[in-house]
Structure 1
Amino acid sequence: MPITVCHSQNDSNESVYTYKSGSFDGIGKWYKGREISHVMGYQGMSWLERSEREQEEETSTLLENMNLEPTDVVADIGAGSGYHVFKIVPKVSEGKVYAVDIQQEMLNAMEKKKNRLNQTNIELIKGSEKSTKLPKNSVDKVLMVDVYHEFEFPVEMIASIKQALKPDGKIYLIEYRGEDPTVPIKRLHKMTEDQAVKEMNAAGFTLIENIDNLPWQHCMVFGVK
């Protein structure tokens, strides 16, 4: 039987999560009908940096979709090894990139590359499972690439992102298309547009557009309602 946890004094959002037996790739925790997947560990860093990633995901097209301005402040949540961070930095030369991750090993890898390239407009932040630790009202654009489905506490994390966004800020939610069985990614590491919209609407965001020009992924743009 599924177990829905009731409100508690320490965590007022716990009642939105359900715990039940799930799949091997899941954590046994569900949100709005979606099982949350395990986090990809730092041991998979080489996969993030694989040479064929541009061909498979068309990262350059994704960055074009973001319409980055030189003065933009961008936050990459779940930045991993910094694959996207170091591609964004040259495009926001008068702005800033916050690179947020919860794994110290990922932050260490980005720190080494940041120092090697002498990049001064990257700020590394060690987030938590419930917070990005970003400054309030500081960010123009938030990028989440194949990471949202791994948030153990999606309600708390999106609330944290909402606080960090400027009033006209946007979220770029990139997820492998759950509607497409030909996308060669495990089921729990995909999301459908309908599921993403359901969860983001609950957090106070509305879908502005889903830019359908990436080979395997949705590029969903959300703004505050």
Structure 2
Amino acid sequence: MKSALLALLNFCLFSISCFAQSINEKEILSLRNECVGVYFNSKEVLKKSWGKSLRFFDLKEGDKVADIGAKSMTFIGTLAVFYENIDFYCEDIDSACTTSKQAQKVIDFYSKIKGSPISCKFIPVIGTETSTTLPKNFFDKVIIDNSLHEFSEKVLMMKDINQILKKNGFLYLRESLGRTNGELHMGCNQALFDEAHLVSFITEQGFKFIKSEDSQIPTGAFLSKLFLFVKE
């Protein structure tokens, strides 16, 4: 009798665990179907997968940060698990996904992953192919998260990004790199920089290179790296 009850208890616990997991997977699938994006099922998995790379950004409480090419805003969601009280201006040309409604979904989801309410603000902003439409000399930091290679007007966009940063403001760049300059990205089929050409291009736009490191975050390319520049 005792062994039968124990077996029944174990079965019930297994069933509850599987049911909870299936609900979580359904929630993630539903969110991905709406605006794609990246969703982790626990903080532990997030820290193990991306944690070291997310710490590279070294954001400070009170920072005003622009994420250029934010779309679903899920990358900012992962950052907001580790950082507090930052104003994120989430810019993209996709008016269907870069919305207050989508921002709230990301905040709600990543608050559960964090285990406490997200304290950062998400402010969606619609830009154009040539302008972020963001205020000049306003931001402490700008992030371009794996979207530089998709800019149709790279020089004009970098000029605008330089202008929206404060003096001595920082530019954080995570980017897919090619083995050779011009190699096509396996996902979007856009031409990639190699590392030397990328650093050269950014410095030509009025930035000074500070450091780089390999990224833990996959991008569908041969190599993904993180870069830090400062506005000169």
Q: TM-score, normalised by structure 2?
A: 0.65
- Counterpart of 2:195, as a letter, is E
Q: Note closer, same or farther for the CA distance 1:168–1:99 as it changes in structure 2 (3 Å cut).
A: same
State the SS of the aligned residue for 2:134.
Answer: coil
**Bigger radius of gyration among the two:** 2
Identical-pair percentage: 26
Task: Indicate yes or no: 2:220 matched with 1:220.
Answer: no
Tell me the distance in 1 between the aligned counterparts of 2:124 and 2:135. 13
Q: Note closer, same or farther for the CA distance 1:167–1:97 as it changes in structure 2 (3 Å cut).
A: same
Tell me the distance in 2 between the aligned counterparts of 1:201 and 1:92. 28
Bigger helix share: 2
Which residue number corresponds to residue 24 of structure 2? none
- Deviation of 1:165 after TM superposition, in Å, equals 0.7
Tell me the distance in 1 between the aligned counterparts of 2:49 and 2:175. 13
Find 1:205's aligned residue among 185, 201, 207. 207
- Deviation of 1:213 after TM superposition, in Å, equals 4.7
Which residue number corresponds to residue 64 of structure 1? 55
Tell me the distance in 2 between the aligned counterparts of 1:93 and 1:203. 31
Tell me the distance in 1 between the aligned counterparts of 2:179 and 2:208. 20
Tell me the distance in 2 between the aligned counterparts of 1:140 and 1:160. 15
- Deviation of 1:144 after TM superposition, in Å, equals 1.0
Q: CA RMSD in A?
A: 3.2
Q: TM-score, normalised by structure 1?
A: 0.67
Task: Indicate yes or no: 2:42 matched with 1:49.
Answer: no
- Deviation of 1:157 after TM superposition, in Å, equals 0.7
Task: Indicate yes or no: 2:91 matched with 1:100.
Answer: yes
In structure 1, stretches of 5+ residues that fail to align are 1-41
Which residue number corresponds to residue 132 of structure 2? 132
1:48-69, Cα deviation, whole Å (9 max, x unpaired) = 32659x78x9432222001111
Which residue number corresponds to residue 32 of structure 1? none
State the SS of the aligned residue for 1:66.
Answer: coil
State the SS of the aligned residue for 2:190.
Answer: helix
Runs of 4+ in 1 over 6 A off after TM superposition: 117-120
Find 2:75's aligned residue among 81, 84, 103. 84
Q: Note closer, same or farther for the CA distance 1:103–1:186 as it changes in structure 2 (3 Å cut).
A: closer
Q: How many residues align?
A: 180
State the SS of the aligned residue for 1:105.
Answer: coil
Give the conservation status (yes or no) of the 8 Å contact 2:176–2:225.
yes
Q: Note closer, same or farther for the CA distance 1:43–1:209 as it changes in structure 2 (3 Å cut).
A: same
Which residue number corresponds to residue 65 of structure 2? 74
Give the conservation status (yes or no) of the 8 Å contact 2:77–2:107.
no
Task: Indicate yes or no: 2:143 matched with 1:143.
Answer: yes
In structure 2, stretches of 5+ residues that fail to align are 1-31, 112-116
1:101-152, Cα deviation, whole Å (9 max, x unpaired) = 1011121362442675787722110011111111112111111111011111
Tell me the distance in 1 between the aligned counterparts of 2:170 and 2:229. 6
1:25-73, Cα deviation, whole Å (9 max, x unpaired) = xxxxxxxxxxxxxxxxx98943x32659x78x94322220011111211
Give the conservation status (yes or no) of the 8 Å contact 1:142–1:171.
yes
Q: Note closer, same or farther for the CA distance 1:70–1:79 as it changes in structure 2 (3 Å cut).
A: same
